[in-house]
Amino acid sequence: MARTKKTEETVEKVKAAAETAKETVKAAAETAVEKAEIVVEKAKSAAKKVAKPRTAKKAAAADAEKPARAKRTAKADKIETKVVIELGDKSASADSLIARAQEDWTAKGNSLDEVKELALYINAAEGMVYYVVNDDYLSGSFAI
């Protein structure tokens, strides 16, 4: 069946619009992933600082020297953080993606006791989340 010139022009416009939308979504997803990685790194850094034990003598000296800093630290401990990843019309929190990876891992007959490290890789172009357990190449994946 022969297409009319108007139909062909419309098809080309739709293809161009689809390509533009694809690039826009891809760019937005890449930006979201970059921001999420920054937040995760900051959270890791903050957790390391909080996790360092101090002796009673060092703690007393630090508290005596810098009471204003202690107040700011106490206030910072109350900050709740949440990472939400949005890809097109889908969104998921970092916590929910971690939980889904753990569920997938156990559904494959593995135990969460084995897990020392869990890394998630979000592929916006594919709409997939790939996870790696204990640096073992591609432990599993699931759709966002």
pLDDT digits (tens, 9 = 90+) for 66-88: 555 555 656 667 788 888 888 88
DSSP-derived 3-state class of residue 39: helix
- 28-47: per-residue pLDDT in tens? 777 777 877 887 777 777 66
Mean pLDDT, rounded, for 55-59: 64
Task: Give 27-34 contacts, CB < 8 A, sequence gap 24+.
Answer: 28/86, 28/87, 28/124, 29/87, 29/122, 29/124, 29/125, 30/124, 32/85, 32/86, 32/87, 32/124, 33/85, 33/122, 33/124
Question: What pLDDT, on a 0 to 100 scale, did the predictor assign at position 48?
Answer: 67
pLDDT band at 49 (very low <50, low <70, confident <90, very high): low
Please identify which residue in the block is written with the tokens 């890394």.
119
pTM for the whole thing?
Answer: 0.45
| For the chain, domain boundaries | 5-143
Residue-wise pLDDT for 102-124, tens only, equals: 998 899 888 888 888 988 888 88
